[in-house]
Amino acid sequence: MQLKESKNRIESKRLPQWEYLAFIAAVLITFVICIGLGSVRLPVRDILGYFGERIFGISCEYTLRSTPQILTVRIPRVICVALSGISLALCGCAMQGLLKNPLAEGSTMGVSSGAALGAIVAIAFDISVPVISLASATVMAMIFAFGSIMLILALAYKLDYSLSTNTIILLGVIYSMFISSIIMFITTFASEKIRSITFWTMGSLQGSTYTEALILLVVLIVAGGTILLKAEELNAFAIGEDNARSIGIDVRRTRLIILIAVSALIGTCVSIGGSIGFVGLVVPHMTRMIVGPNHRRLLPATLFAGAAFLMVMDLIARTVLRPLELPIGAVTSLIGAVMFVFIFAGTRRNTK
């Protein structure tokens, strides 16, 4: 009886098709606004004219002479911000469903800490990667992110063959604390690089390129697509692992696939934009309040909400103290923490 009620609760809210269009429209409007606002404001006519010239070959005059130069810098940044928001929010949503823990997000696995360590090692010791055109910090962060998930899963498998949720969370927390201590040691001995290290750990997508946007997009298509295809399994996990086993789901294999996909997304985002917190925690909760807990509806809606949320946070970081730019991680942590308190308080009132 309880199992049937849980299934009905998951299937209760469904997102009408027109609301998908509303999500898409909101993301597109936010995208244009974020491109137009910054240290230099651009009229919407200039932005649309630039896209018309680049995509459709329509020649047009710009109000500002510097419009093309500004847009070649601002567009890849906003694209990277949107893709990072999608990836982080999707990871948080998947982790909360998989682990049945409302506080779970991608960083729960310790992947963010591992990626941060890789980038900090590259910055502190001037490690260079010849051959590859990407920054050495990006490459090292990706390597350390995948190494971290492999280590955590290997330890979890050694301690608990079933790869239980509690074991993975516990190891992820311990691993994150261990990595934090190593980062402190490195920062102490690399005091001349402390400004670069500190700014990177607070998160920033300043100077993003189309190459980085392409990397984010490819990883999102592969790893994010894998998570979207596991929506039914996540619905089963949300009810309980025993329910998932009873309907024929290979719990261990499914958990492993989702965790690896989450790690790939988190590692890539951290390697390009640094540590950006609270996106994977707050956005899924906000979206769940609108569309309900059914992951077939929740995951796609979270994609749009994550993109819009992080674009707005980046816009605030760029404009609130213009021309000074704040680290986006500091803005998401500050605003995200306040939003989460209100969400949590509202949820508690509704359950009484």
**Tokens describing residue 339:** 């939003």
Residue 86 pLDDT: 96
Residue 4 pLDDT: 47
Between 87 and 137, the more confident residue is 87
Between 135 and 113, the more confident residue is 113
d(CA 5, CA 8): 5
Q: What percent of the chain has pLDDT over 90?
A: 21
Between 109 and 221, the more confident residue is 221
**Tokens describing residue 292:** 């309900």
What is the 3-class SS of the chain, one letter each residue? CHHHHHHHHHHCCCCCHHHHHHHHHHHHHHHHHHHHCCCCCCCHHHHHHHHHHHHHCCCCCCCCCCHHHHHHHHHHHHHHHHHHHHHHHHHHHHHHHHHCCCCCCHHHHCHHHHHHHHHHHHHHCCCCCCCCCCCHHHHHHHHHHHHHHHHHHHHHHHHCCCCCHHHHHHHHHHHHHHHHHHHHHHHHHCHHHHHHHHHHHCCCCCCCCHHHHHHHHHHHHHHHHHHHHCHHHHHHHHHCHHHHHHCCCCHHHHHHHHHHHHHHHHHHHHHHHCCCCCHHHHHHHHHHHHHCCCHHHHHHHHHHHHHHHHHHHHHHHHHCCCCCCCCHHHHHHHHHHHHHHHHHHHHHHHHC
pTM, two decimals, is: 0.85
d(CA 243, CA 246): 5
Considering only CA atoms, give the Rg of the chain: 21
Residue 98 pLDDT: 85
Closest alpha carbon to 184 in 116, 276, 277? 116
Q: How sure is the predictor about 17, in pLDDT bands with cuts at 50, 70 and 90?
A: low
Residue 10 pLDDT: 46
Residues 20-33 have pLDDT tens digits of 788 888 999 999 89
Report yes or no: 120 and 200 within 8 Å, Cβ to Cβ: yes
**Tokens describing residue 200:** 């990177």
- Which residue ranges form the domains of the chain, and what is each CATH number? 19-70 (no CATH), 91-277 (1.10.3470.10)
Is the confidence at residue 71, as pLDDT, over 90? no
Cβ within 8 Å of residue 198, ≥6 positions away: 187
Is the confidence at residue 89, as pLDDT, over 90? yes
d(CA 315, CA 133): 28
Residues 185-213 have pLDDT tens digits of 888 887 777 777 777 777 888 888 888 89
Residue 3 pLDDT: 42
In which residue are the tokens 């651009």 written?
Answer: 42
The Cβ-side half-sphere exposure at 241, using a 13 Å CA radius, reads 14
Q: How sure is the predictor about 76, in pLDDT bands with cuts at 50, 70 and 90?
A: very high
Is the confidence at residue 223, as pLDDT, over 90? yes
Residue 143 pLDDT: 82
Is the confidence at residue 259, as pLDDT, over 90? no
Is the confidence at residue 133, as pLDDT, over 60? no
Residues 280-320 have pLDDT tens digits of 889 998 998 888 888 988 999 999 999 999 999 999 998 88
Mean pLDDT of the chain: 81
Is the confidence at residue 128, as pLDDT, over 70? no
Amino acid identity at 72: T
Is the confidence at residue 36, as pLDDT, over 90? no
**Tokens describing residue 248:** 């024929």
Residues 226-235 have pLDDT tens digits of 999 999 999 8
CA 84 to chain centre: 5
Residue 12 pLDDT: 44
